[in-house]
Amino acid sequence: MNDVHKWREQRRFVLQSMRDLGLGKTQTEREIMDEIHHFLDILRDHNGTPMDLYKPLTPSMSNNICTLVFGKRYEYEDPDRVFLDENFEMGIEGFDQTSIAGFFPWLLKIPVVSNFMAIDQAVQAFQNIKTFFKAVITKHRDTFDPKNMRDFIDRFINEQNSKQHKDPNTTFNDDTLVGNVLDLFSAGSETVRTSIMWCIYVAAAFPQHQEKVKEEILEVMGPDRDAEYQDLKSMPFTQSFILEVMRWKTIIPLNVPRCTLSDAKICGYNIPKNVTVLFNLWNAHHDPNYWTDPESFIPDRFITKDGKSVSRPAHFMPFSAGKRVCPGEPMAIMEMFIYFTSILQKFQVVFPNGYKPTFQAAMKATYRLDPYKVRFLARS
């Protein structure tokens, strides 16, 4: 059985499971809003003093995936919550998308290179995470009820039980389940968190644009009503602001590595079979042939001429392109919109006195801002 068959079968299952579990429906929105209420309480508790948004945002983002995959959330100080967050952070630190080992993976077999890049530490962190996931999966199997599908793991177990009776070589096995769960956490937590960190930083750096977002929030949602995903279509400036952040600071500049399945010819270049191909999304998002003044942040860039909606051109591809476009795009957009609007509905975001934004960032698993602090001033 080849990797293409496995990818197709598992992608189809993941997409269907996410829909069945409420993605794009009010159920998922309610669960995300419940999590956001916990998150906003943390911001209020700081009473406008400078704080690192990364610390409360990390468990909050992860909890949204926990609810989808495990059927539960964890309190921020729960030992399991802390264990997951610490190990994911340790693992991510070891994988720099622009490192030389990313282009020449065989270098990792050389001990001095592996030790210098702390790859062993990252590998151990992900092994710790897999061990944790296996324990959660075992508990799910012990309490599994085919008449009560609680979450993604239950749905996989149900499909696995069905397929293994018909096909002993099915891709629905324990290793695939662990891999799927790891992928959902890795893609669903780190990328959205990094995007929201950028949105908040940019909002603080451009207070005039933040004010326009706030005005649109108050016009559509008012000061008290919870954000709803359907509000997105009525808030073109806010939507365009978020899309422009995703373009301007493309958080996965080289996408996820791909592999050619056969010889190909592109733009006169011969691309042989079985070579790694990197998709330069940063270049696509900063090419002056397609974007006016691409190095500048223009928050209304995506708004249509009538000012009533937004339009995404084909050369805008923050979630990749082609058949392997990120399956979590709808949930990611929903989270970014609801978190961003919920924060700015309740708070004005400003930098500490004397701080001047630098937009300094570094490439890890994603293009991350250097650590920063902001003040969340409660709106009256």
Please state the residue numbers annotated as binding site for heme.
Answer: 326
Q: Could you tell me if 54 and 371 are in contact, meaning their C-beta atoms sit under 8 angstroms apart? A: yes
Place of tokens 């309490």: 143
Q: Could you tell me if 249 and 235 are in contact, meaning their C-beta atoms sit under 8 angstroms apart? A: no
Query: Which segments are annotated as binding site?
Result: 326
Q: Could you tell me if 260 and 274 are in contact, meaning their C-beta atoms sit under 8 angstroms apart? A: yes
Backbone angles phi, psi at 350, to 5 degrees: -135, 155
Sign of the C-alpha dihedral computed for residues 35, 38, 40 and 43 taken in this order: negative
What is the DSSP secondary structure assignment for residue 371, as one 8-state letter? P
Taking the C-alpha atoms of residue 58 and residue 42, their distance in angstroms, rounded to an integer, is: 12
Taking the C-alpha atoms of residue 138 and residue 157, their distance in angstroms, rounded to an integer, is: 10
Angle subtended at Cα 187 by Cα 22 and Cα 85, rounded to the nearest 5 degrees: 100
Angle subtended at Cα 31 by Cα 220 and Cα 214, rounded to the nearest 5 degrees: 25
Q: Could you tell me if 366 and 190 are in contact, meaning their C-beta atoms sit under 8 angstroms apart? A: yes
What is the DSSP secondary structure assignment for residue 78, as one 8-state letter? -
